Amino acid sequence: MSLESVRLSQPAKDRLIWLKRTTGIPQWNVLCRWALALSLKDPSTPLVKDIVTDSNVEMTWKTFAGQYGDIYLALLKQRCLKDGEEPTDEAVARTLTIHLHRGIGYLGGNKDMATIEGLVGSVTAA
């Protein structure tokens, strides 16, 4: 597992397809960034630790993170430390996968987030 590529599970892909349709946001990476931010905002530790990344959705880290790659990497390392893990490459990659999938679940499970306004409100609300 590494940060070279970001892969999604089939259920996550299915939720993102729905989100693309309902929000009008056509890029996987943009929706995935929102999902990651939403999950990292939640102070609880994700319950699911093992995720099968079996879909055909895969993007490079550079595509996923864009120009803010250093910020996303720092956020992931900080979350590893908060959760009591050493921020090794493997731990950071696992943290990304777990939080990305939890965030996609949050986005797909809340009808208020079916609009861009709902997405912004979900991440910026206190």
In a domain, 108, yes or no: yes
Cα separation values, 80 from 13, 50, 51, 57, 86, Å: 25, 16, 17, 25, 6
Residue 27 phi/psi, 5° resolution? -100, 135
Decide: 35 and 98 in contact? Cβ < 8 Å. no
Here the CATH number for the domain that contains residue 45 is: 1.10.1220
Q: What is the pTM of this model?
A: 0.86
Residue-wise pLDDT for 24-38, tens only, equals: 889 999 999 999 999
How sure is the predictor about 88, in pLDDT bands with cuts at 50, 70 and 90? very high
For residue 97, pLDDT beyond 80? yes
CA distance 124 to 126: 6
Return the structure tokens found at 97. 């996968």
Average pLDDT over residues 42-47: 90
In a domain, 3, yes or no: no
Q: What local confidence, expressed as pLDDT, does residue 11 receive? A: 92
In a domain, 58, yes or no: yes
Decide: 19 and 31 in contact? Cβ < 8 Å. yes
Q: What local confidence, expressed as pLDDT, does residue 126 receive? A: 54
How sure is the predictor about 52, in pLDDT bands with cuts at 50, 70 and 90? confident
Domain membership of residue 25 as a residue range: 8-124
Q: Give me the number of domains the chain comprises.
A: 1
User: At a CB cut-off of 8 Å and minimum separation 6, what does 114 contact?
Assistant: 19, 22, 23
Helices (H), 1-126: 10-23, 28-41, 61-65, 69-82, 89-109, 116-124
